[in-house]
C-alpha cells in the first residue's frame, strides 16, 4: 500500500471528486426522486459494483487498451449513451401512461441494481478516470503497483458508497417532503427522464483522451 501521506492525499482527492455533483450523483438523485430512497440506495450499490469492474480492468491494463483503441472507446461510449437515453425515454413514456393511475409501477430492486451496474460499466468516463487518477498515488518503491492500484480502486468504491448513499438519502427525503399531487403526479418521473437523457447525451460527447 502507499504510505500514510499518499493514502490521506488519495482519500482527500477522492472525496472532492465524489462530493462534487456529477453524472453518478445525478443518476442516483434521479432514481431516488422517481422511486424513493431505497431505490436510490440500491442504485448506488449497482453503480459501485460497476465501478469495481473498472477497477479490475485498470489493474490488468484493460483501461489502457480501451483508451488506445478509438474503435473500442467509441463502441463503449455509444452503448452507454444509448442505454441512458433509453432509460430517459422509458421514464417519460411511463409518466404519460401512468397519469390516470397516479402511482407508477415500481421497478424491482434487482432491476434497479442491474441498471446501476450497466450504466457504470458502459460509462467510458469511469475507465478514463481510474486510468488517470489511480496511478498518481501508487508508489513502485512500496511494492507491486498493480496491487496498489487495486487497493486504491477498492477504497474509492467504498468511499463512493458513502457519498452517493448520502445523496440518495437526501433526495429520498426531498421526495418524501413532496405532498399531495406533486408526489403522486408525474413530476419526479419527468425529472428523472430528463436527467437520464442528459446523461446519455453527455456520455456520447466524451472525447478520447490523448495518449
Burial of residue 103 (CB within 10 Å: 0-12, 13-18, 19+) is exposed
Of the candidates 35, 42, 39, the one whose C-alpha atom is nearest the C-alpha of residue 103 is: 35
**Every domain of the chain and the residues it spans:** 4-204
* Confidence at 166, pLDDT banded by 50, 70, 90: very high
Helices (H) and strands (E) in the chain, counts: 10, 0
How many whole angstroms from its chain centre is CA 203? 12
Over pLDDT 70: what percentage of the chain? 68
Q: Is the pLDDT of residue 78 over 50?
A: yes
Give start and end residues of each alpha helix (H) in the chain: 4-19, 23-35, 37-60, 62-68, 70-97, 109-121, 124-133, 145-177, 180-184, 187-204
Q: Is the pLDDT of residue 41 over 50?
A: yes
Amino acid at each position: 500500500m502507499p504510505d500514510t501521506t499518499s493514502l490521506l492525499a488519495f482519500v482527500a482527492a477522492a472525496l472532492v471528486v465524489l462530493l462534487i455533483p456529477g453524472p453518478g450523483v445525478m443518476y442516483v438523485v434521479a432514481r431516488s426522486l422517481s422511486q424513493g430512497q431505497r431505490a436510490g440506495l440500491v442504485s448506488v450499490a449497482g453503480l459501485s459494483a460497476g465501478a469495481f469492474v473498472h477497477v479490475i480492468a485498470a489493474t490488468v491494463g484493460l483501461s489502457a487498451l480501451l483508451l488506445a483503441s478509438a474503435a473500442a472507446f467509441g463502441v463503449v461510449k455509444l452503448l452507454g449513451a444509448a442505454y441512458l437515453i433509453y432509460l430517459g425515454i422509458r421514464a417519460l413514456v411511463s409518466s404519460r401512461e401512468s397519469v390516470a393511475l397516479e402511482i407508477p409501477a415500481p421497478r424491482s430492486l434487482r432491476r434497479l441494481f442491474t441498471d446501476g451496474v450497466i450504466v457504470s460499466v458502459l460509462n467510458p468516463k469511469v475507465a478514463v478516470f481510474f486510468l488517470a487518477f489511480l496511478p498518481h498515488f501508487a508508489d513502485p518503491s512500496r511494492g507491486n503497483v498493480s496491487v496498489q492500484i487495486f487497493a486504491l480502486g477498492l477504497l474509492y468504491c467504498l468511499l463512493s458508497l458513502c457519498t452517493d448513499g448520502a445523496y440518495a438519502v437526501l433526495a429520498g427525503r426531498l421526495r418524501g417532503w413532496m405532498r399531495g399531487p406533486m408526489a403522486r403526479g408525474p413530476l419526479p418521473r419527468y425529472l428523472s427522464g430528463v436527467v437520464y437523457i442528459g446523461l446519455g447525451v453527455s456520455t456520447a460527447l466524451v472525447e478520447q483522451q490523448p495518449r
